[in-house]
Chains A and B, each alone.
Chain A
Amino acid sequence: MTQRRRGPARSDSRGGYDHLAPLFVELRDLPEDDPKRAELRERLVTEHLPVAENIARRYRNRGVPHQDLAQVAAVGLMHAVDRFDPGRGADFMSFAVPTMVGEVRRHFRDSSWLVHVPRPLKERHASIAGAAADLTAELGRSPTPSELAGRLGMPKQEVIESLLVAGAQRGTSLDEPSHDDSTASIGDRLGTEDEALAHAENRLALRPLLASLPERERTVIVLRFFHNMTQSEIAGRLGISQMHVSRLLARTLAQLRRGLLSDG
């Protein structure tokens, strides 16, 4: 617990919240109707807000906007301030952190059946991409829209629309983490299978075109069309998402098409 005390001290130059501990005793000892209670309570909540913020940040990129989570964590913080009993020996943080985390988790659970407020597109797409990656790992194949909808507690049609928008905007990269700096060579990636490639290159007179592609694009094309790996398998192999593979393939096929046309 000591780490937690230190961790969230973003806006606290003293690196902790221990100096606030006496305020809890003060709050507890004030009579119920003392107007100073509200003031003290507010100060305790405000001073601890960076902790709530920090907890909310731990759950980012899961399809719920950060502000919502920060608010939910802050509600947890208020509950914690109200319920904390300084006489029990534990420090506030070891009581408050689980309370806030619990509140955030409950929000995730509940929001799956609450009204489906349309989320910002980017958020929604990020959560779908995350669920798609998880499900692909679990199922050993890419998921269907129904499976994604089930996992996310989102209407299937919303999943489909989001995927369509993402597909229509392919190339403009919605959220893809960039792995483009990975340095393994195509030889490392393909190993001994290079023989098959050499054969195909000769047969299809592809060598100059393939050679003109950036390495990642070339790898994706070779694995998909000469080693017949699925997009998900390629994604797993290269450590990128299926959606990223999809974008790379679409873009590169168009590029190759232009190259083939201008050659012919």
Chain B
Amino acid sequence: MNDVGNAAPQPGSSDLELAAIELRLTAGSEYLSTVRAVAADLALQRDMTLDEVDDLRLAVDEACSMLVPLAVPGAELRCRFSLAEREIRVRCSVPVSTPELPPTDGFPWQVLMTLADSVRSEVERGTADGDVVWIELAKQKVDRA
């Protein structure tokens, strides 16, 4: 299967993936509460601080909200949560009809950059799902005093 979440190891990803969870849902903002809940649960289970948990939850929500309007109508939004010792990495992707990156000069991108430790976005052309746009973000556990 052609899974966009399985692209080559991420540059800047210092941590080995311990486990992964992937959600697939109809790309509609009304279904994002499920993604938020999963993001929060994973972050809490990984014992992140409440600030980090909320940052991740808000960041995932923001990334998905950026992608949903770009998606081919009725298409699937995929969110792959990759768990490592010290970080959670999430890649959200949708098939698009116009292979363009989400704008990085607006407030939503600013929100992502603030909430996550790293954010990037790419277009992959001609996958099994057609052209796909993804946003990947990582939230790290800060060293505890």
Contacts and interface: CB of A to CB of B under 8 A. Distances in A.
B51 A142 contact: yes
A143 interface: yes
A146 B145 CA distance: 14
Given A142-B50, A168-B37, A257-B65, A204 B44 contact: no
Interface string A146-185: 1000000000000010011001100000000000000000
Given A142-B51, A242-B50, A250 B61 contact: yes
Interface stretch (B15-23, B73-81, B104-112, B130-138): B104-112
Interface residues of A, number: 35
17 contacts: A141-B145, A142-B52, A144-B47, A146-B47, A160-B41, A163-B53, A167-B40, A168-B37, A204-B110, A225-B111, A231-B54, A242-B54, A246-B54, A249-B58, A250-B58, A256-B107, A260-B108
Contact of A163 (B50, B69, B106): B50
Contacts of B45: 160
Interface of B: 33, 36-37, 40-41, 44-45, 47-55, 57-58, 61-62, 65, 69, 105-108, 110-111, 114, 142, 144-145
Interface majority SS on A: helix, strand, loop or mixed?
helix
Interface of A: 132, 139-146, 160, 163-164, 167-168, 200, 203-204, 206, 209, 224-225, 228, 230-232, 242-243, 246, 249-250, 253, 256-257, 260-261
B107 A204 contact: yes
B50 A143 contact: yes
B66 to A, nearest CB: 9
Nearest to A257: B65
